[in-house]
A = this chain, B = another copy of it.
Amino acid sequence: MNIAFDQQSIAATMETIGKAARAASAALGRCSSDQRNAALRQTAAEIRAQTGAILVANSKDMGAAGARELSSAMLDRLALDEERIEAMACGLETVSELPDPLGQVLAAWERPNGLKIQRVSVPLGVIGIIYESRPNVTADAAGLCLKSGNAVILRGGSESFRSSQAIYRCIVAGLSAAGIDPAAVQMVPTKDREAVGYLLSSMAEYLDVVIPRGGKSLIKRVQDEARIPVIGHLEGICHVYLHESANLEMAKDIVLNAKMRRTGICGAAETLLVDRDAAERLLPVIVDALVDAGCEVRGDDEVQKLVANVVAATEEDWSTEYLDAIISIRVVDDIRQAMEHIGYYGSGHTECIVTDDIDAATRFFADVDSAILLHNASTQFADGGEFGMGAEIGIATGRIHARGPVGAEQLTSYKYIVRGSGQTRP
C-alpha cells in the first residue's frame, strides 16, 4: 500500500478502493469454495511465516501507544505475541474448514402452477468493517468475509495501524497465492478520520453493509453518519438472574464465570439480579466468592444489609458496561421484576437465568427480548466460536439481518431461483 496521500484526496482514494472492491466482489462470488478456502489456508501460512515482521510492527505500535499513555485495557487489546499470532492463523484454518455458506438451498417449494422456487444463499457483496485497536480483527474479519464470498474494506484503529498493515500484507499474499484478486480484501491506507466519514457517508454505491467493532463512541459515530445499512454491535450489559429455585453451587459457578473468566468481553456479566426469597440463601456465598476472586461488588440497600464488602450501587451502575472486575447486584421481587429490570437497563445482548424451575426458564425465554438467552449456563458462552460457528465478527444486538453472533453464514444474503416451463401469470 504505497498510495501517496499528499497527491490525491481522501475521496479519490476511497473511490478507487470502492470501485476495486465492487469489481473484486463480482469475481469473488464466482470463485469456488475450494479457492476461497485455499486463500484462507495460504493466509494462515503467510501469517505464521511473517510472525517476526508482525511482531516488529506491533512493537512499534505498542511503543507509540505507550508514549500516548493509553489504558492498560487498550494496550492489552493492541498487544500481539507469538501465541496470539498463532491463534489468528488457526482461526483462519478453522474458518476454511467450515461448510460453505454460499449456494445453500435455504428453502425450496413448488407452486400449484408448477413453478419450482428455491431460495439460495449468496454473498452480501462488499462489507465495510471499522474497528479499533485489536489488530487480530484484520485477519478474523477478512477471513469471515472471504469465506462468505464478500469483498471487504477494512479500516482499523490508528493505534494498531502498523500491526494491521503487517497482517494485511499476509492476506494479500494469501489471496494472490490462491489466484484471487487481492482487491477482494482492502485496507484503508490512511489513519485520517475523514476516511471513515467518507466511507460512511459517500460510498453507498460500493458498500452493501458496514459493521463497526468497538466502543460506544465508534458505534455512535457509525450510526449517526452511515448512509448504508449497519449491522450493529452495541454494548453488552449482560445479566445473570438467580431465580428463587436456583441451585447455590451452580449459581456460584455461573456468576463467577460469567463475571470473572474474562471481564473485558461483551458477554461478561455486569449485573446480578437475585430473587428476594433466595437472596439470603445465595448472596453471602456468591459475594464472598466474587470478592475472593478480586471483584468489586456494588449493591442496592438490601444487598448491603445481607452481606459485607458491598459498596452502594448508584442508578448509573445499572446501565454501565464495566468491562472490568466490578459487578452490580440488585434484589428483585420476582421474575417479573427481574425481566423488567433487564428490559429497562439491558442492551439486548445476553442474559442468563439460573433456576431449577423449568417453567421459570420457559417464561424467561419467551418474555426477555435479547439476542441470546441462557438457562443454567454462563453468559460468557455468547461467542460465535462457542456456538459452533467457527469464528465471529461480533455479537449483533440489532434486529435487522443478523442477531447474536455474526459468523460467515450471517454475512450472506439470498436470491430466488424459479424454474418454469413457460408459465405466464393469469
Contact = CB atoms under 8 A, between A and B. Distances in A.
Interface of A: 26, 29-30, 109, 111, 115, 117, 119, 122, 124-125, 204, 208-209, 223-224, 227, 229-231, 247, 250, 253-254, 256-258, 261, 343, 361, 365-367, 369-378, 380-381, 383, 386-388, 398-401, 403-404, 413-425
Nearest to A251: B422
Given A115-B381, A400-B401, 13 more contacts: A111-B387, A209-B399, A231-B400, A247-B422, A257-B424, A261-B424, A261-B425, A369-B415, A371-B416, A374-B418, A376-B419, A377-B423, A404-B416
Given A229-B398, A370-B415, A420 B125 contact: no
B253 A375 contact: no
A388 to B, nearest CB: 6
Nearest to A378: B424
Nearest to A366: B30
A230 B375 CA distance: 34
Given A117-B387, A416-B387, A418-B373, A425 B378 contact: yes
Nearest to A380: B425
A398 to B, nearest CB: 7
Contact of A124 (B257, B388, B400): B400
B115 A30 contact: no
A229 B383 CA distance: 24
A170 B302 CA distance: 51
A417 B365 contact: yes
